[in-house]
Chains A and B, each alone.
Chain A
Amino acid sequence: DAKTTQPPSMDCAEGRAANLPCNHSTISGNEYVYWYRQIHSQGPQYIIHGLKNNETNEMASLIITEDRKSSTLILPHATLRDTAVYYCIVRVGKYDTDKLIFGTGTRLQVFP
């Protein structure tokens, strides 16, 4: 699976949009971009995934560049409860039947 690069930390004001970037310049055509987050001392939580089209669900939006070498996770209205470590993972397969390899992630701190 392709390697991802994320900034180690970011801050965001409560109520503002949080934009978390991820670089995956070596991504292959059949690899999906997944985002998970881990709130302190809890198990990770799935957020969203995509292949090449932008995706949106009740939690977030995922914007993938046309060349697919980078993506951005957008939390439209960040709250204090969104403070967590966010992991961008690139892996083969739409169905999550294969293992996930976690990188170092981005620690997002939402402040009042």
Chain B
Amino acid sequence: GAVVSQHPSWVICKSGTSVKIECRSLDFQATTMFWYRQFPKQSLMLMATSNEGSKATYEQGVEKDKFLINHASLTLSTLTVTSAHPEDSSFYICSAIPDRAYEQYFGPGTRLTVT
């Protein structure tokens, strides 16, 4: 099956710094990728839809200047958490869709801890 990877799998950073998370589709091209955030014991919350070659579409309440998304190629989307604060600590998960597929393939997630 299709594989989606994320890097890093976990990261600890200091408050005020920026962190970049990569999402790669390893064996297929993905025009569309999604970014989710999940707090402990809660469900996944969609943050944004990432489209190759165009600006991301953010869900209501998600700060686009804080969570920068770049989808520069058909196999790579990046999420940059700028000026991170402890409340940004969360599990960030991406997903990607092959063309004409009926399922999304999810990455393993990145656990971000901001101290």
Give chain A's interface residues, CB within 8 Å of chain B.
34, 38, 41-46, 49, 85, 87, 94-97, 99-105
Contacts and interface: CB of A to CB of B under 8 A. Distances in A.
Contacts of B106: 43-45
A95 B101 contact: yes
B49 A49 contact: no
Nearest to A46: B103
A41 B92 CA distance: 11
B43 A103 contact: yes
A97 B99 CA distance: 8
A101 B44 CA distance: 8
21 contacts: A41-B109, A42-B109, A43-B109, A44-B93, A46-B104, A46-B105, A85-B43, A95-B101, A96-B101, A96-B103, A96-B104, A97-B32, A99-B49, A100-B46, A100-B95, A101-B46, A102-B36, A102-B43, A102-B45, A102-B46, A104-B43
A46 B91 CA distance: 19
Nearest to A105: B43
B44 A102 contact: yes
Nearest to A45: B106
Given A43-B95, A105-B43, A100 B101 contact: no
Given A41-B109, A42-B108, A99 B101 contact: no
Contacts of A95: 100-102
Interface of B: 4, 32, 34, 36, 43-46, 49, 91, 93, 95, 97, 100-109, 111
Pick the most buried of A38, A96, A102: most chain B CB atoms within 10 A of its CB. A96
Pick the most buried of B4, B32, B105, B106: most chain A CB atoms within 10 A of its CB. B106
A49 B102 CA distance: 9
Given A43-B4, A104-B43, A97 B107 contact: no
Contacts of B100: 95
A96 B106 CA distance: 13
A1 to B, nearest CB: 12
B104 A100 contact: yes
